[in-house]
Amino acid sequence: ASSVASAAIVEHSFHVKNLTLRRLCGEQVITAVNGSLPGPTIRVREGDTLVVHVFNKSPYNLTIHWHGIFQKLSGWADGPNMVTQCPILPGSSYTYKFKVIKQEGTLWWHAHVSTLRATVYGALIIRPRSGHSYPFPKPDKEVPILLGEWWNANIIDVENQALATGAGPNNSDAYTINGRPGDLYPCSQNQIYKLKVERGKTYMLRIINAALNNQLFFKIANHKMKVVAVDASYTKPYITDVVVTGPGMTTDVLLIADQPVGSYYMAASPYASAAGVPFDNTTTRGILIYEGSTSATPIMPLMPATNDTPTAHKFYSNLTGLAGGPHWIPVPRHVDEHMFITVGLGLEPCGGNATCQGPFGQRLSASMNNKSFQFPTSLSMLQAFFFNVGGIYTPNFPDKPPVKFDYTNSNISNDQSLLFAPKSTSVKVLKYNSTVQIVLQNTALIVVENHPIHLHGFNFHVLAQGFGNYDPVNDPKKFNLVNPQMRNTIGVPVGGWAVIRFKANNPGVWIMHCHLDAHLPWGLATAFVVQNGPTPRSTLPPPPADLPKC
Ligand code: C2O
């Protein structure tokens, strides 16, 4: 009863509208929440109910996704456009209401329509319920660190141009820490994030990668960090001098201000796993300033090279879960559904006599198991599921790719059927409470890179990850079934694979997609339709009355 008594209702209003901001050397009109970039930080305790009234005063269609929230029996609040809802039209509103249960740590919220999340994002912090504590000594202070990107152009124009030409989107003009580019960019001496610390105290940095299209290295000069959670799931403490993070991921670290009084740069620079893909090779930095510091020139950390896959892999693969800790879930041992899903880019025919600027004069595209996902336009998939409307999605997503090939070999591009994956609305239907294991295998068609694959509605266990083609005989021997990390986003190693496992205990429609923003409209996605359970408590309730209409 005490835990019921301690649960609260936390209410926010999001006014989403144009904001003129000065960044780098000019002004730009962006879409922002409550007039700030990043948007408001939401703080709840585990067990609370979060209610957010979203008023769309922007000129664009809008939805908000609560990235990493399970949305147990509240799928109507998940937010991906045309998956769980139709968009909130300009001038309209929608109230997202859901309980935050059985997860603690750092998550975030962001727009989930077109590419608006470039500026519509913020932190969502879940602390233990009152009377409960962290599985580590309480830090003296907690600080959200949101890594982002800044464009000197209108972000919707950037996306539209990419879609029109068939090429990749233009690179951003800067990376940012808490919305600020830092002093390595033009006109940005004063646009730098500063964190004041007191010597001897412990700070929890809640690091969120809200960048659109880049994985990032994050370092603080002369300081080590202790990772205690990823994706709002506790980890066995892991000490590192570099954090590697893909779009969508969060990393909670403890930082002890144990160095001589002074000032130290914190910096983020790209981990661009792919050879041949253009990326923004710049560095954003902020300053950690000790109380009493008089030093004028902060110390700069040495950043890893942009293609430093060994450093990225070491960090990603050394993380383990805090078995037995708060909200720990043991790995389900029996698997009901075995899936093998290829993940990668491809092409779409340019069409007509148009000229496209993608590879080979075609348009860039992407697929899972050779199906390039297309979002419906007339009704959301969750409404189709709930009201049993046909023709919105197709329940035939294959458990493996159509043919087996050497996924590390880019020279099969003469196989046109694999290169030009057909457009599809294909989804996988799962029985309630079934356990699913998925081998995610990157392909090398067009380009080979690390894809951060995000699953809505669940955390999964990461059983193993590696390079090359997945070996079904020997790689299962490497599975960590004891204390694997639990996450909602996995960076599938460049030219490699990762194995995840989760229990489909949440009825609804849950998209799984690459969190490199450009890859979503290209089709690097599918969805799981999890059937209702046998009782009302395992069945999705009806939509709220204000669910936007299409
Ligand atoms: Cu953070 Cu489907 O997204």
Report yes or no: 147 and 218 within 8 Å, Cβ to Cβ: yes
Q: How far is the CA of 253 from the centre of ligand 1 (A)?
A: 22
Q: Which residue, chain included where needed, has tokens 């879609």?
A: 163
- The per-residue pLDDT for 7 is 87
Nearest in space to 543 (alpha carbons), one of 426, 382, 327: 382
Q: How far apart are CA 511 and CA 135, in angstroms?
A: 31
Is the Cβ atom of 456 under 6 angstroms away from ligand 1? yes
Is the Cβ atom of 117 under 6 angstroms away from ligand 1? no
Q: Which atom of ligand 1 is nearest to the CA of 80?
A: 2
Please give the average per-residue pLDDT across 125-147, as a whole number.
97
Residue 411: predicted pLDDT: 75
Beta bridge partners of 50: 10, 98
Cβ burial 466-498 (10 Å sphere, 16+ → b, else e): beebbeeeebeeebbeebbbbbbbbbbbbbbbb
| pTM to 2 decimal places | 0.97
User: Ligand 1 centre and the CA of 48: distance in Å?
Assistant: 22
State if residue 65 touches ligand 1 by the CB under 6 angstroms criterion: yes
Least confident of 60-64, 161-165, 365-369: 161-165
**What would the mean pLDDT of 305-325 be, rounded to a whole number?**
97
Residue 254, pLDDT above cutoff 70: yes
Task: Give the tens place of pLDDT for each residue, 79-103.
Answer: 999 999 999 999 999 999 999 999 9
248 close to ligand 1 (CB < 6 Angstrom)? yes
Average pLDDT of 356-370? 95
- Per mean pLDDT, which range of 400-409, 426-435, 450-459 is the poorest? 400-409
What is the tens place of the pLDDT at every residue in 419-436? Answer: 999 999 999 999 999 999
**CA of 336 relative to ligand 1 center, distance in Å:** 26
Whole-number pLDDT of residue 69? 98
Residue of 27, 116, 69 lying closest to 455 (CA atoms): 69
pLDDT band at residue 261 under the 50/70/90 scheme: very high
pLDDT of residue 4: 52
Ligand 1: which atom is nearest the Cα of residue 247?
A: 1
Over residues 218-242, the pLDDT tens digits come to 999 999 999 999 999 999 999 999 9
Q: How far is the CA of 67 from the centre of ligand 1 (A)?
A: 6
| Amino acid (1-letter code) at residue 58 | S
In terms of Cβ atoms closer than 10 Å to its own Cβ (0-12, 13-18, 19+), residue 398 is: middle
Closest residue by Cα to atom 3, ligand 1, is: 67
Q: Is the CB of 454 under 6 A from ligand 1?
A: yes
> pLDDT value at position 277?
77
Q: Strand (E) positions, 151-187?
A: 174-177
* Whether residue 414 has pLDDT greater than 70: no
- State how far the Cα of 398 lies from the Cα of 410, in Å rounded to an integer: 23
CA of 77 to the centre of ligand 1 (A): 13
Please identify which residue in the block is written with the tokens 């919707």.
156
> With 50 as the cut, is the pLDDT of residue 527 above it?
yes
Segment 132-160 mean pLDDT: 97
Q: How confident is the model at residue 331 (pLDDT cuts 50, 70, 90)?
A: very high
In tens, the pLDDT along 99-119 reads 999 999 999 999 999 999 999
Residue 328 pLDDT > 70: yes
Element (H, E) at 107: strand 105-111
Q: What angle do CA 339, 342, 344 make, to 5 degrees?
A: 155
For residue 2, what pLDDT band results from cuts at 50, 70 and 90?
very low
Mean pLDDT of the chain: 95
CA 248 to ligand 1 center in whole angstroms: 7
Contact 513 CB / ligand 1 (< 6 Å)? yes
C-alpha of residue 161 to centroid of ligand 1, in Å = 22
Residues 6+ apart with CB under 8 A from 532: 432, 507, 538, 539, 540
pLDDT tier at 1, thresholds 50, 70, 90:
very low
Q: Which atom of ligand 1 is nearest to the CA of 108?
A: 1
Binned at pLDDT 50, 70 and 90, residue 413 comes out as: low
Amino acid making up residue 91: G
Residue (of 29, 295, 294, 263) closest to 151 by Cα position: 29
